[in-house]
Amino acid sequence: MKDKSQGSIKLAGFLVVLALTVLMTLGVLGGFGSAEGIKLGLDLAGGVSITYETVKEDPTQTEVDDTIYKMQQRADNYSTESAVYQEGDRRVVVDIPGVQDANRILEELGNAGSIQFVPVEGNMTMGEDGSYTLDYTIEELYEKGQVVIDGSDITTASPKAYNDTIGVDYIVILELNASGTTKFAKATEEYLGQEIAIVYDGKVISWPTVQNVISDGTATISGQRDMQEASNLASTIRIGALPLELKEVRSNVVGAKLGEEAIQTSLLAGAVGLILIFLFMIVFYRIPGLAASLALVFYVTLELILLNLLDITLTLPGVAGIVLSIGMAVDANVIIFTRIREELLTGKTVGSSMKLGFSKALSAIIDGNVTTLIAAAILAVLGSGTVKGFAYTLALGIILSMFTALFVTRFILKAFYQLGFDKEKFYGIQKERKVFDFIKLSPKCYLLSGLVIAVGIVFLFINRSTIGSAFHYGLDFKGGTSTEVFFDGDLPGNDEISSFVAGVINDNEVDVAPVVGDNAVIIKTKELDLETRTALSEAFSSQYGIDGERITNESISAAVSGEMKRDAMLAVVIATICMLIYIWIRFKDFSFGSSAVIALVHDVLVVVTLYAVIKLTVGTTFIACMLTIVGYSINATIVIFDRIRENKAEMLKKDTLEDVVNNSITQTISRSINTSLTTFIMVFVLYLFGLDSVKEFALPLMVGVVCGAYSSICITGALWYHFKGLFGKMKKAE
């Protein structure tokens, strides 16, 4: 009776907490943590679009590219889903989602003016208040050779507070690039003991004294009164540290590109997928499945609450990512439940089996999630734009899924056990499986994978010769044309305009966003030649009676710049190396890490083959999709490696490594299939209900999930076995 009472109290307590989190998510308990308070991206809720123009009339493309890259880093402070791209020859457009006050953003973002460091002596006059004013224009100072460094020489500036012998000192740490380092070292040697002023947009904002020669590219500006003053100076330096001076030419508040329909279909997909997973878990795992379902509801509500509290911007790929993470969150529970069933098979009691199930599943859960968390951390630090936003959402999902599986599910399961659900029939017993010879099958699997990847490589060359590029790149990657149309009458809906434009230009890739406050829309399409632009203007005039002068066109660059691609690639490479090192250290065997990385590359290449063969659009969602597959692939592989490590330590003299691998894969195959199935269900429902843009994200993910299950079962274990044999022969040869 005592146990039942405790079980009732525990279960009732959890249900109260669950109800509170659900009510908080729905906003019933106020705005704190509610789902409605989540900051939505430009595609779902609109935001601010600011257009700048370079003051310099003939900037080089390198100067524009460098400016876009630095502006992207600055815009990321407002939202990781911000986009910065070139429009025409001299214009830079900054799209910041989730905000509506263009004036505030302009004020905080700054006018992106120019910044110079100029010697005070001979160039400035001191006023009565002790401040300086320039005696010459900036152009004259450049002509005189009196500009020590300017914005093109500065990498970044950051405020810092530290304690010295007197008290707290507030400083700004200035970091210079290679060119700036050389110039500044020469200048600080020449003007040692003198003042070098910082000039922003022609105004002297600070005049620190050179106290020593600075040759390492890192300077310290001291004497700020407080942290706020140090932060303001650092911010001003960063704003001015652009290769080009920019001036604002227009700012718009744009409406959602996809809007309510996209959100509703994704939410519907999430709800349907969640119900299907609940049914699957309860039917297949019984009481543990019910416990996992309740924990999963808590997981979803907690994730939504934290998305609000952590101020993470949610875009359409982010919504899809959350739906996907629901499927992936089941993974740890399946590992635990499979372990419990295996212990019941040996004749242990339910209580002992539960305890051992959680204990033995712990290493696989931790190793699998830590490797993915390492990847998320690297992507968050080194990535930019969509990559950084994806990393935040991924890390949040990993941490929450581990917490709910290891603590919440365990708490609920124990409550059910104490309530009287302590018989084997409520948990099920793992059936004995016939051990399959996966090692013998592996050469055929290697051949199949090689053929699929070879087909992908062939299609890359075919695409290059037929469509001019290896992939069908979207606007985010290759740029296009931006058309702004001002309507005289009622503004048509996004779908109507999109269909109309697609018919005129004979291309379905049309991105429409209304301009809030104006009776206008901004339409982004593939690059249009003069003839097609004229035809589009005439079509709008004919269909909607719009004067041709109220239709303007500009060429736009790719929102995903070369630097962003480089950052994404660098982040993935470093993350892969870090995961390899972790697996090597954790498993004390380099063969495990190398096998895992090869399987990871295999999964990515198979999905790349899909993109090449059916010409799926490669846009910003492509990066998020590939990163999801990387995280999913490594997680699935770790589970099998963990079992190989465990069985290898317990192997008998008569056992061979081949036996260990085949047994380990056979023992974990239900986990590999079931977790892949639950994840596939979520993504499939998303594909079924989603809009076209969502389907282009969901389809490769479905292939990635299936491929991840295939590689973890048929390739990774066999690779480890063959590597061990190869390295063993090499050692004997020595």
Whether residue 339 sits in one domain with residue 445: yes
Residue 728 confidence class, pLDDT cut points 50, 70, 90: low
Whose CA is closest to 546, among 488, 464, 613?
A: 488
Strand, helix or coil for residue 655 = coil
Residues 6+ apart with CB under 8 A from 572: 379, 626, 627, 630
Question: pLDDT per residue over 486-507, tens digit each?
Answer: 888 788 887 788 889 988 998 8
Percent pLDDT > 70 in the chain is 84
- Pair 437, 714: CB distance under 8 Å: no
- pLDDT score at 609: 95
Strand, helix or coil for residue 174 = strand
- Pair 201, 166: CB distance under 8 Å: no
Whether residue 490 sits in one domain with residue 366: no
Give the domain-ending residue among 532, 556, 580: 556
- Site of tokens 């878990």: 281
**Parallel, antiparallel, or unpaired: how do β-strands 551-556 and 480-486 relate?**
antiparallel
Whether residue 124 sits in one domain with residue 104: no
Residue 732 confidence class, pLDDT cut points 50, 70, 90: very low
Whether residue 103 sits in one domain with residue 51: yes
d(CA 344, CA 417) in angstroms, rounded, equals: 15
User: Total structural domains in the chain?
Assistant: 4
432 secondary structure, DSSP code: P
Residue 733 confidence class, pLDDT cut points 50, 70, 90: very low
- Characterize 137-161 residue by residue with b for buried, 16 or more Cβ atoms within 10 angstroms of its Cβ, and e for exposed: ebeebeeeebbbbbbbbbbebebee
Q: Which has the higher per-residue pLDDT, 314 or 708?
A: 708
Look up the CATH number of the domain holding residue 494: 3.30.70
Tokens at residue 191, please? Answer: 């003007």
Q: Which has the higher per-residue pLDDT, 112 or 529?
A: 529
d(CA 412, CA 292) in angstroms, rounded, equals: 8
Whose CA is closest to 240, among 411, 109, 133, 137?
A: 109
d(CA 121, CA 93) in angstroms, rounded, equals: 39
- Compute how many other C-beta atoms are within 10 angstroms of the C-beta atom of residue 521: 23
Residue 605 confidence class, pLDDT cut points 50, 70, 90: very high
Strand, helix or coil for residue 348 = coil
Residue 469 confidence class, pLDDT cut points 50, 70, 90: confident
- Compute how many other C-beta atoms are within 10 angstroms of the C-beta atom of residue 423: 9
Give the domain-ending residue among 94, 112, 130: 112
Question: pLDDT per residue over 607-632, tens digit each?
Answer: 999 999 998 888 766 776 777 777 77
| Amino acid identity at 584 | W
The answer to the question of residue 508 being in a domain is: yes
The answer to the question of residue 250 being in a domain is: no
- pLDDT score at 731: 46
Look up the CATH number of the domain holding residue 210: 3.30.1360.200
- Pair 192, 227: CB distance under 8 Å: no
Is the pLDDT at 319 greater than 70, yes or no? no
- pLDDT score at 323: 64
Strand, helix or coil for residue 170 = strand
Report, as an integer, the average pLDDT of 293-311: 87
Strand, helix or coil for residue 31 = coil
d(CA 284, CA 252) in angstroms, rounded, equals: 53
Whose CA is closest to 712, among 635, 616, 659?
A: 635
Percent pLDDT > 90 in the chain is 17
Whose CA is closest to 606, among 705, 518, 675?
A: 705
Question: pLDDT per residue over 79-128, tens digit each?
Answer: 766 778 787 778 888 888 766 665 666 665 655 557 789 999 999 999 88
- Compute how many other C-beta atoms are within 10 angstroms of the C-beta atom of residue 556: 20
Is the pLDDT at 263 greater than 80, yes or no? no
Residue 178: its H or E element: helix 178-190
The angle that helices 316-345 and 386-403 make with each other, rounded to 10 degrees, is: 30
Residues 6+ apart with CB under 8 A from 62: 243
Lowest mean pLDDT among 8-17, 678-687, 692-701: 692-701
The answer to the question of residue 719 being in a domain is: yes
Residue count of the chain, please give it.
734
The angle that helices 657-689 and 438-466 make with each other, rounded to 10 degrees, is: 40
**Largest pairwise CA distance in the chain:** 94
- Pair 657, 724: CB distance under 8 Å: yes
Residue 600: its H or E element: helix 590-613
- Site of tokens 């290679």: 178
Cα-based distances in Å from 668 to 336, 445, 642, 674:
11, 19, 10, 10
Can you give the residue range of the structural domain that contains 228?
115-241
The answer to the question of residue 28 being in a domain is: no
d(CA 643, CA 663) in angstroms, rounded, equals: 9
Whether residue 713 sits in one domain with residue 649: yes
Whether residue 71 sits in one domain with residue 121: no
Strand, helix or coil for residue 236 = helix
Measured in degrees and rounded to the nearest 5, phi and psi for residue 717 equal -60, -40
Is the pLDDT at 382 greater than 80, yes or no? no
* Beta strand extents in 551-640 (DSSP E only): 551-556, 617-618
Report, as an integer, the average pLDDT of 178-207: 88
Measured in degrees and rounded to the nearest 5, phi and psi for residue 33 equal 75, 5
Whether residue 136 sits in one domain with residue 155: yes
d(CA 530, CA 553) in angstroms, rounded, equals: 10
Strand, helix or coil for residue 54 = strand
Whose CA is closest to 564, among 156, 83, 52?
A: 83
The answer to the question of residue 649 being in a domain is: yes
Tokens at residue 731, please? Answer: 């050692």
d(CA 552, CA 697) in angstroms, rounded, equals: 32
Could you give the strand order of the β-sheet that contains 203-206, starting from the edge strand earlier in sequence?
149-150, 115-119, 196-200, 203-206
Whether residue 523 sits in one domain with residue 387: no
Report, as an integer, the average pLDDT of 305-319: 74
- Pair 480, 556: CB distance under 8 Å: yes
The answer to the question of residue 23 being in a domain is: no
- Pair 316, 81: CB distance under 8 Å: no
Whether residue 533 sits in one domain with residue 628: no
- pLDDT score at 135: 92
- Pair 664, 717: CB distance under 8 Å: yes
- pLDDT score at 1: 53
- Pair 471, 611: CB distance under 8 Å: yes
The answer to the question of residue 253 being in a domain is: no
* Rg for the chain, CA atoms, rounded: 30
Question: pLDDT per residue over 321-378, tens digit each?
Answer: 666 667 667 888 888 888 888 888 888 888 899 999 899 888 888 887 888 788 778 8
| Amino acid identity at 499 | S
Residues 6+ apart with CB under 8 A from 29: 20, 23
Is the pLDDT at 420 greater than 60, yes or no? yes
- pLDDT score at 649: 83
d(CA 254, CA 511) in angstroms, rounded, equals: 12
Whether residue 695 sits in one domain with residue 552: no
- pLDDT score at 371: 81
Q: Classify the C-alpha dihedral 64-69-70-72 as positive or negative.
A: positive
Give the domain-ending residue among 511, 526, 556: 556
Question: pLDDT per residue over 439-455, tens digit each?
Answer: 999 999 999 999 999 99
Alpha helix segments (H runs only) across 76-136:
102-109
The answer to the question of residue 369 being in a domain is: yes
Residue 412 confidence class, pLDDT cut points 50, 70, 90: very high
Residues 6+ apart with CB under 8 A from 386: 80, 81, 315, 317, 560, 620, 621, 623, 624
Strand, helix or coil for residue 420 = coil
Lowest mean pLDDT among 130-134, 517-521, 682-686: 517-521
Record the pTM: 0.70
Residues 6+ apart with CB under 8 A from 263: 40, 44, 319
- pLDDT score at 191: 92
Look up the CATH number of the domain holding residue 95: 3.30.70.3400
Whether residue 401 sits in one domain with residue 309: yes
Q: What is the mean pLDDT of the chain?
A: 81
Tokens at residue 291, please? Answer: 């416990």
112 burial level (CB within 10 Å; 0-12, 13-18, 19+): buried
Whether residue 227 sits in one domain with residue 135: yes
